[in-house]
Structure 1
Amino acid sequence: MNQNSVPQSDSASILYRVKHRTHYQYSSDVSVCQNQLRMQPVSGGNLQCHRSQIRIEPAPTTIESHFDYFGNHVQTFSIESVHRSLVVTASSVVSIEPQAVIDEDSTPPWEQCSSSIELAPAEPLIDEHRFNSPLVRCGEPFAQYATSSFTPGRSLLAASLDLTRRIHADFRYDTTVTTVNTTPEEAFAIRAGVCQDFAHIQIACLRSIGLAARYVSGYLRTTPPPGKPRMVGADESHAWLEVHAGKDVGWIGLDPTNACMVSTNHIPICVGRDYGDVSPMRGVVLGGGAHTLKVSVDVEPIEDKSKS
């Protein structure tokens, strides 16, 4: 995601219509498939979900819904009829409220947040986001990289924003050099990757100095170049992170891909320790041969609220 494609945040809430379409085409028959989806937003924080639905073609044999350990909405389904195509479309209407403006120097010193985090009753999982997770491992190289930003006594937000901007400056956005399975260590070594890699790297840096940081998946509103029409399906899935700044401030969203704090242009869907906890769609198939995958995301601001 290019920083220049992100519009300035609005001071008022924004209503969005979001459509995420995933299409698998198989070269031979699939007799059975089982899948798990995390594509539906959950109201909380500055997001209000007004409506959300999942359409699956062909129609599933079984489907059930639950909330996972991190509070994400999960749909689990199976298709037990022969098929060569699978199309999943998630459609939602959400509103995003602007976050309160936080002065960079108003948050506690980062050492205070690192040495002892007081767990708020509504946030029982904070401490869990301070340690290793399946895809993000703490390490000395990450701690050393973070040290330039986290100088003694510096405000947590000022230091975290500085780290966010350094990652944006030091790492090249390149869709050709990493895959969904690339580790943070590998992306860190080549100083390149995509939003998933940058979020993982910053989380690794923060956890390596004792801070709580979690992965966020969602969507980012973008704008077309001047004079060009908006293209349906041109918006992207996106990833960023949140760092915990103590019980009085809570989670603060940071986007290292775009060197900014999270704004009303960011639409969160799921949170977790790393990408493995929030993958939009995963599953297994019996048969199918080779397959092709097409994904499109459309994020449309709704100016007339009666159309929502």
Structure 2
Amino acid sequence: MRLISGLPAAPPEAVGLDPVRLDAAARHVARDLPHVTSLLVARRGCLAFERYFGIQAGEAQDLQSVTKSLVSLLVGIALDRGLLTSLDQPVLPLLPGAGDPSDCRWRQVTLRHLLTMTSGLPSELTDPAYDDAWVKSADPVRFALAQPLVAAPGTTFHYSNAGAHLLGAALAGAAGQDLAAFAQEALWTPLGIATPHWPRDPQGRPFASGGLHLTPRDLLRLGQLVLQRGEWAGQQVVPRSWVETATRPRVAGYAWMEGLPEYGLLWWVAREGHTEGWYATGYGGQYLAVFPELELVAVMTGKVENHPNHRQVIAREVRAAVL
């Protein structure tokens, strides 16, 4: 059987998918959603549907905040290896040389708080001036630590790019190596993914908040890894327990962002049509969706610009193709 991106290829009907409905979804995209660049669907471990819109299969896409969910997988690996001790480990000791925090409550901030977006940092989504200042700062980690917290750690969800970037820096500190190097050894190489482009901050740290570039096929491969509870080709790449932990609802998120009501550990969680879905999402319409009960993985990518939400293509049209 022909392998594509590490998955065998199969016609939709061979894995219980309706090809007519999938073709209709692709026509909808081509006709009404000019910002979409790809739609891929796998079921029962097989790539069953693949369409590209204005790009080629091998073109890496800017995944934006999908990056956060992949960093979550790296945290699980680090915990399993003993590089991190627990989710309730304070963050500041993992950031030596990052400067003194402005708010004494920073000493209470843990890995769990950063993973659930409850550190108390303000949200860039609701404060464009703060977002611009953070992105353009000479040292985004120092900049974040210099901000007074807007809530006590652990009390309130504020979607935070700065918090995710702090988590990546803390993870690199715990691993004793560059975050991208750790990701290459721990995740990309076991899955057979070529070294991806990953933008860095002015201090040379990969942005854990977003910007990782992968091909849609590689993103589908990562979704299949999550569906398989961290197992790939007979190897437990990510601890099974971590996949199950990261995809449990922890806090109420910003439903207005994606229409997804709950947040896990850098993963969005939803029940749609009585079916549980685990989502990694990014600005511009980047989606990795895993439906464990359906053995279904879907990927959509889009141009990194403001445009109407197209998640419903997955939530409704792709799910409706399951026979």
**Structures share a fold, TM > 0.5?**
no
TM (norm. structure 2) is 0.25
Please, what TM-score do these two structures have when normalized by structure 1? Answer: 0.26
Q: Which structure has the highest helix share of the two? A: 2
More relative contact order, 1 or 2 (CA 8 Å, 6+ apart)? 1
Structure showing the higher strand proportion among its residues: 1
